[in-house]
């Protein structure tokens, strides 16, 4: 049970922070299918930072570890500008823009990783090697039956995510900016009439989605793969979108969806280990969260209430 909780949390929390990024973008009215590409480019930026700083920062040190998350957040936010430019400035179809950003991220990060490794580091590799994120347990609390699993072998980035979730929940629901952002997704004409710049608000929201997706991508790079490579694109961005939709574009319900997906994945892994079956079955077990998405879609899709202006291109002249 402890292993199930530990592994489930380490998957669910990065998924949540990516999903919150999607909530920010879509509550502002910009459909964001680009989360997969944003998390990948963010992880690439963080991995590149680690590769370049290993010569003068202590490899695996806390400073390098946390600064790599800053680099990942900055990389994700900057790459999100492409989606914002296409959707807000050029008024492109937002669904198509998201698909284009995903494809561009996969192609660009793969190409740049190989080229930089070859020209700068002298090894033609398609990955940046990382260390495994440090883990720690909370004394006394880890010994509580069942619940102790939530305080055992906790990745250091999980604590960062908990703080970020609290901060961005407060920003979205308890600040004037959050009120304007949510109003942009429901009634942008009224927001414009109140003197708030709709385009600027949506731009910031999309950049926040890139920032948080970059953080989530770096979490997966430090835990699941321990490197940054094309394998970082394994569908977590799409699963975060599904969690956001099942959570009705609200943070707390999205947390519930992410926990369901995380624990489903962890339970499948534990079952495979318990049965001691062939390794190919392990790959099949990784499909469980996506099958669960399809099942939940059947039962809950009719109750979804997306923002009323989601996906609409705002024209100031129509006010």
Say if residues 22 and 228 touch (Cβ distance below 8 Å): no
Structure tokens at 56: 């003068």
| C-beta neighbour count of 9 within 10 angstroms | 23
pLDDT one-digit tens code per residue, 252-265: 999 999 998 888 88
pLDDT at 20: 97
What's the predicted TM-score (pTM) here? Answer: 0.93
The Cα 51–Cα 178 span in angstroms is 37
Domain CATH for 276: 1.10.3470
Who contacts 66 (Cβ-Cβ below 8 Å, separation ≥6)?
A: 160
pLDDT at 318: 59
* Residues listed for the chain: 319
Q: Report residues of the chain scoring pLDDT below 50.
A: none
Say if residues 255 and 49 touch (Cβ distance below 8 Å): no
pLDDT one-digit tens code per residue, 4-52: 888 888 999 999 999 999 999 999 999 999 999 999 999 999 999 998 8
Domain count for the chain = 1
Q: Residue with structure tokens 């669904």? A: 95
pLDDT at 256: 92
Structural domain of 226? 2-318
């Amino acid at each position: 049970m402890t292993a199930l909780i530990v592994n489930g949390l380490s998957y669910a929390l990065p998924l949540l922070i990516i999903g919150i990024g999607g909530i920010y973008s879509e509550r502002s009215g910009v459909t964001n299918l680009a989360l997969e590409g944003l998390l990948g480019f963010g992880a690439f930026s963080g991995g590149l930072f680690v590769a370049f700083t290993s010569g003068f920062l202590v490899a695996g040190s806390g400073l390098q570890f946390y600064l790599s998350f800053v680099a990942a957040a900055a990389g994700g936010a900057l790459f999100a500008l492409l989606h914002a430019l296409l959707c807000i400035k050029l008024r492109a179809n937002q669904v198509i823009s998201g698909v284009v950003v995903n494809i561009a991220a996969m192609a660009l990060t793969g190409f740049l990783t190989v080229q930089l490794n070859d020209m700068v580091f002298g090894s033609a590799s398609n990955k940046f090697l990382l260390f495994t994120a440090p883990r720690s347990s909370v004394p006394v609390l880890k010994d509580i039956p069942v619940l102790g699993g939530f305080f055992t072998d906790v990745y250091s980035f999980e604590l960062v995510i908990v703080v970020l979730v609290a901060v961005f929940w407060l920003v979205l629901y308890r600040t004037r900016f959050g009120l304007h952002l949510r109003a942009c997704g429901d009634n942008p004409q009224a927001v414009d009439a109140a003197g708030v710049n709709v385009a600027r608000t949506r731009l910031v929201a999309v950049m926040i989605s890139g920032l948080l997706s970059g953080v989530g991508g770096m979490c997966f790079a430090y835990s699941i793969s321990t490197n940054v490579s094309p394998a970082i694109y394994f569908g977590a961005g799409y699963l975060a979108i599904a969690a956001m939709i099942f959570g009705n574009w609200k943070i707390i319900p999205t947390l519930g969806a992410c926990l369901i997906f995380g624990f489903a994945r962890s339970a499948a892994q534990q079952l495979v280990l318990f049965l001691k079956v062939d390794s190919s079955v392990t790959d099949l077990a990784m499909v469980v969260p996506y099958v669960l998405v399809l099942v939940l879609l059947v039962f809950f899709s009719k109750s979804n209430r997306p923002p009323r202006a989601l996906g609409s291109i705002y024209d100031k002249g129509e006010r």
